[in-house]
Amino acid sequence: MSGAISPQQVAGFSLDAGKSSRILARALALLLALAAFAKGYSAWRDHNISLILWAQIMIETGLAAWLASGVRMEASWRTAMIVFGVFASVSLFKVMSRQRDCGCFGRAPVSPEIMFLVDLTIVILLIAFQPRPIRPSRDRRGRLVLAGIIAVGGLTAIAIAQFGRPISMVAKTNAEQTPSSTSSLVKIPAPVKADMIGIATSPTQWVADFGVSQPGKFVTALFRLSSPRHRLIAVRGVNTSCSCTSVPNPPQSIPAEGTCDAAVKFHVPDHPTIFESDVMLTTDDPTLPPLKLIIKGSVQ
């Protein structure tokens, strides 16, 4: 007998493929709705929400409703492929930058490695089970081959990110952790003499109120920073609102537990006025607004 597909086989394959597509669409809708809810709940608990986080919640909620409705299935399927492709790229970036939490589910810690594999698997499933009209079998084989190539490429990328650390970097890290043979002293940062300790007014904002200050004086405010995400976050940038404010030794990261100190130096105006200056610390978390350190007071 020839290898031709009978009409009954085609009809049976069509029913199974359509059912698989509907099940996958509803599963993805549930996953997206859960992620949107977790982000919204975390924003409510932290009393802050950034524009990026708001956009993510809206995109995930809208796509979840679209997939669950079954309206314009092919268009929603293509949109889901793009969205989860972006999710996989972001997760891979976080894997390569060695972040501990992807932030995909708000305050719930999830490893970027796990989410990359989940997003990659979803992209593969979306490619393999596209809700298209029945086409020759070679078209389906082509989609399966493409899905396999993406799977192999993705697993190779995560393997390189996890185990492809340059030997020179490992040697440097080991050298930094090994005490010098010529000295047994451990360098401990000198304590900072502060004129004022900042008080946390929200998970992402601290205020040091100097009240009435002497004109022209240089003062130092010490801010004890804690992680709003309850995980290690890296500080990527420091911006000050004026040249009268500086951060001589900005923190490189904020630990998951405990605090780290950020000393801010400020030159008080030499004339009567009410002053306020800000320091903005940007982090490696795109869903987290910049951490804001405020110095304020007055000169009479």
Nearest in space to 219 (alpha carbons), one of 251, 197, 201, 252:
197
Q: What are phi and psi of 285, to 5 degrees?
A: -95, 110
Q: In sequence order, what DSSP letters do the residues of 246-268 get, joined into one string?
A: E-SS--SEE-SSS-EEEEEEEE-
With a cut of 50, say whether residue 160 has pLDDT above it: no
pLDDT at 181: 38
Q: What is the pLDDT of residues 226-244, one digit of tens each?
A: 888 878 888 988 888 888 8
% of the chain at pLDDT higher than 90 = 13
pLDDT at 152: 54
On average, the pLDDT of the chain sits at 74
Among 43-57, 137-151, 178-192, 196-210, the least confident range? 178-192
Q: Which residues contact 105 (CB under 8 A, 6 or more apart)?
A: 34, 35, 38, 39
Higher pLDDT, 51 or 175: 51
Mean pLDDT of 125-143: 61
With a cut of 50, say whether residue 10 has pLDDT above it: no
Q: Which structure tokens are listed for 238?
A: 């420091």
Question: Which segments of 81-204 are extended strands (E)?
Answer: 196-197, 199-202
pLDDT at 2: 47
pTM of the entire predicted model:
0.44
Cβ-contact 42, 59 below 8 angstroms: no
**Amino acid in the structure at residue 152:** V
Cα dist from 99 to 103, 128, 220, 237, whole Å? 10, 31, 32, 17
Q: What is the pLDDT of residues 91-109, one digit of tens each?
A: 888 777 667 677 777 767 7
Other Cβ atoms within 10 Å of 251 Cβ, number: 19
With a cut of 80, say whether residue 46 has pLDDT above it: no
* Domain boundary assignment for the chain: 7-163, 196-299
- Burial status of residue 186 (CB atoms within 10 A of its CB: 0-12, 13-18, 19 or more): exposed
Q: What is the pLDDT of residues 241-273, one digit of tens each?
A: 888 899 988 899 898 888 889 999 999 988 899
Identify the CATH number of the domain defined by range 196-299: 2.60.40.10
pLDDT at 6: 44
Q: Which residues contact 124 (CB under 8 A, 6 or more apart)?
A: 147, 150, 151
Mean pLDDT of 152-161: 52
Among 87-101, 113-127, 203-217, the least confident range? 87-101
